[in-house]
């Protein structure tokens, strides 16, 4: 958890702003990503700690490609592609919209969780709190979810609007053709179990039964072990590098990791450290970069398109983040 005196700098920014609309109802809202980026991540660096950059290599003549040499292609058969230019893709993109258009309200139980892809919180604008609360309460009491479409960063999404404890949440939904069926993966046909075998399974389950899902069950043990390892190395001053010649963006990535570690390990008296480690642990990464890192590659591409960044179609996610940050 962040320190109280510094929490304001870590408040997330809206990912999208617009209105929830159906019939004569229009409620201005802002969309916030409901999940955080992984609190533990590793970067590829060389032996001296300098962050590495990804580049594309053409295997035909073993040469590195510049951004302008890279285009997208749809593979119709093995090693046979139809090339698609950025401008052609942009012509196919949906028109910009600032509305989440609710087209139907369905029983929440009718939506299989397998369709859920990514969660967002919907927050009301200051003057729309009463209408927001009324909609959330009505939907929650009715046990219904709203099905809607909206355009975000040049891509059209299908979403389910769900109300829980007076809060509206948007869950982006996978499309039908994105899902496999049990038959696709070769699952066997269902057979009725014998009563004795079923009772035996029930007896094994009973000691492990619980009424609630404890937070402890959702902890990431690998992340805890990795943080403990990094903390031990920091305290010992072992394998800690800060590359002075690295570009500003890359240094920010290192500083961000140190900041995450310090906050994740809150409670330790030796948070500031000393000696040769101070250089790697001082400062803070740009909140803008942290926000960009939470976005998907397709969303970053759409923002790069809006900013007119050339060569975006051939960029990796990290390269898109860097290019957008430089262009802002």
Task: In whole angstroms, give the CA distance from residue 268 to residue 59.
Answer: 50
DSSP state letters, 20-41: EEETTEEEEEEEEESSPPPS--
* The CATH number, out of the four listed (2.60.40.420, 3.30.1050.10, 2.40.290.10, 3.50.50.60), of the domain defined by the range 9-36+93-178: 2.40.290.10
Average pLDDT over residues 312-320: 76
What local confidence, expressed as pLDDT, does residue 244 receive? 53
Q: Which of 26-30, 58-62, 92-96 is least confident?
A: 92-96
Task: State percent of the chain over pLDDT 70.
Answer: 80
On the question of pLDDT at 273 being above 70, the answer is: no
What local confidence, expressed as pLDDT, does residue 95 receive? 82
What local confidence, expressed as pLDDT, does residue 49 receive? 81
CA 103 to chain centre: 26
What local confidence, expressed as pLDDT, does residue 20 receive? 94
Comparing 2 with 213, the larger pLDDT belongs to 213
* Pair of tokens at residue 213: 């899902």
Confidence grade of residue 104 (pLDDT, cut at 50, 70, 90): very high
What Å distances lie between residue 37 and 54, 228, 265, 296, CA to CA? 21, 19, 17, 11
Comparing 58 with 258, the larger pLDDT belongs to 58
Average pLDDT over residues 226-251: 70
Task: In whole angstroms, give the CA distance from residue 195 to residue 208.
Answer: 21
What local confidence, expressed as pLDDT, does residue 288 receive? 53
What local confidence, expressed as pLDDT, does residue 131 receive? 93
CA angle 324, 16, 120 (to 5 degrees): 110
* 3-state helix/strand/coil string of 54-118: CCCEECCCCEECCHHHCCEEEEEECCEEEEECHHHHHHHCCCCCCEEEEEEEEEHHHCCHHHEEE
On the question of pLDDT at 265 being above 80, the answer is: no
pTM of the model: 0.61
Confidence grade of residue 162 (pLDDT, cut at 50, 70, 90): very high
What local confidence, expressed as pLDDT, does residue 152 receive? 85
What's the pLDDT tens digit per position in 173-225?
Answer: 999 999 998 888 888 888 888 999 999 999 999 998 888 888 888 788 888 88
Average pLDDT over residues 51-73: 86
What local confidence, expressed as pLDDT, does residue 102 receive? 94
Domain residue limits, the chain: 9-36+93-178, 220-327
């Amino acid at each position: 958890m962040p320190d109280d005196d510094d929490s304001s700098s870590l408040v997330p920014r809206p990912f999208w702003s617009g209105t929830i609309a159906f019939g004569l109802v229009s409620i201005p809202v802002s969309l916030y990503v409901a999940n955080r980026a992984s609190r533990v991540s590793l970067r590829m660096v060389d032996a001296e700690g300098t962050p590495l950059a990804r580049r594309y290599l053409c295997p035909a003549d073993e040469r590195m490609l510049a951004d302008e040499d890279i285009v997208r292609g749809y593979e119709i058969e093995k090693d046979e592609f139809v090339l698609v230019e950025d401008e052609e893709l942009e012509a196919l993109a949906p028109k910009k919209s600032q509305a989440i258009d609710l087209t139907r309200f369905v029983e929440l139980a009718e939506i299989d969780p397998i369709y859920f892809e990514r969660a967002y919180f919907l927050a009301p604008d200051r003057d729309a709190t009463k209408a927001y609360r009324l909609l959330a309460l009505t939907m929650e009491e009715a046990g219904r979810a709203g099905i809607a479409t909206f355009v975000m960063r040049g891509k059209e999404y299908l979403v389910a609007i769900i109300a829980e404890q007076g809060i509206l949440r948007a869950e982006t939904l996978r499309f039908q053709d994105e899902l496999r069926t049990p038959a696709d993966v070769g699952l066997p046909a269902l057979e009725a179990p014998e009563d004795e075998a079923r009772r035996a399974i029930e007896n094994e389950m009973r000691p492990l039964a619980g009424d609630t899902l404890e937070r402890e069950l959702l902890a990431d043990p690998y992340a805890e072990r990795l943080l403990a390892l990094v903390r031990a190395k920091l305290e010992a001053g072992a394998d800690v590098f800060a590359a002075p010649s690295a570009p500003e963006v890359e240094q920010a990535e290192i500083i961000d990791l140190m900041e995450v570690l310090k906050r994740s390990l809150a409670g330790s008296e030796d948070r500031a450290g000393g000696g040769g480690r101070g250089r790697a642990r001082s400062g803070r990464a740009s909140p803008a970069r942290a926000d960009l890192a939470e976005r998907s590659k397709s969303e970053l591409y759409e923002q790069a398109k809006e900013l007119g960044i050339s060569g975006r179609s051939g960029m990796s996610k990290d390269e898109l983040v860097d290019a957008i940050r430089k262009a802002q």
